[in-house]
Amino acid sequence: MSGREPETERVSPQKQLTGEYMQMAGRRSNVHGLVEIDVTDARERIQAIEEETGIALSFTAFVVSCLAAAVAEQPEVDRYHDWRGRVHEFEDVDVNVLVEREVDGERIGVPHVVRAANRRTVRSIHDEIRRVQTEPSSGTEAGFDALVRRLPGFVRRQLWRLPQWFPSRWKGLAGTVAVTSVGMFGSGNGWAISPTNYTLQLTVGGIGTKPRLIDGDLRSREFLSVTVTFDHDVVDGASAARFVQRLRTHLEDGSGLDAVSGE
């Protein structure tokens, strides 16, 4: 046997934050729905936009736009209950989205809040995501992520209780709904399930090809795997089902894409 000591390294601050978040978020009454959505037409339209305009439109921006539109139509999924039993329902849909960027020499997903996404165009959301992706990382980053990095661990863990204590402050720091994408780190279809501190979260998986019967013809189509997670203490089954249907419609119809080439 070799007497060589095992190599060790410090856990990165970002991974430490993620672990603490998962620990606290797992205490909510989360219900997960695994959904497949046909995004063939939407992806063809995104490709056509790139050929027409030279803009490689972010698929994540498109998903964020569709999510915000569906939430605006079903506002009961954009609610929080505070510790006094009061219901907080928000007019703006602030979407916390994971944006892949380099931090401390490592490519990771960093949370960024797209404010009032329900009143934004796909192109404006795309431009914001691209800007965040290319911004250099620094020790003076603004936002919730930078704030919690500077706090002691026991204080950080209590911050994850903000949605139940003070929903409006949680909205100001971290948004009202969330989109996280595991598809950005790999290829192929499949779902992922994770705890969340939000009333509503989409976990976007991969895209796979499978046959679908359309107008009597069997055609090869592209299906996006999406996990829709709700806090069942806030959202009932009927509201969740209506939201998923509206989300499916927006994604399959390519909502908001027609306006991109004209901007």
The predicted pLDDT at position 13 comes to: 54
What values do phi and psi take at 59, rounded to 5? -65, -35
Query: Which domains are assigned to the chain?
Result: 13-253 (3.30.559.10)
With the CA atoms of 183, 260, 56 and 246 taken in that order, what torsion angle do they form, in degrees rounded to the nearest 10?
10
The predicted pLDDT at position 195 comes to: 80
The predicted pLDDT at position 223 comes to: 95
**Three-state secondary-structure class, residue 126:** helix
* Regions in the chain scoring below 50 on pLDDT: 1, 11, 26, 138-142, 184-186
pLDDT in tens, 226-243: 999 999 989 999 999 999
Query: Distance (Å, rounded) from C-alpha 46 to C-alpha 199?
Result: 30
Contact 66, 251 (CB under 8 A): yes
The predicted pLDDT at position 170 comes to: 84
- pTM for the model: 0.81
Residue with tokens 């204080």: 155
Contact 205, 39 (CB under 8 A): no
- Stretch (H or E) spanning 62: helix 59-73
Query: Distance (Å, rounded) from C-alpha 197 to C-alpha 133?
Result: 24
What values do phi and psi take at 179, rounded to 5? -125, 125
The predicted pLDDT at position 105 comes to: 67
What values do phi and psi take at 18, rounded to 5? -60, -45
CB contact set of 140 (below 8 Å; sequence gap of 6+): 146
Contact 76, 235 (CB under 8 A): yes
Contact 97, 177 (CB under 8 A): no
The predicted pLDDT at position 90 comes to: 93
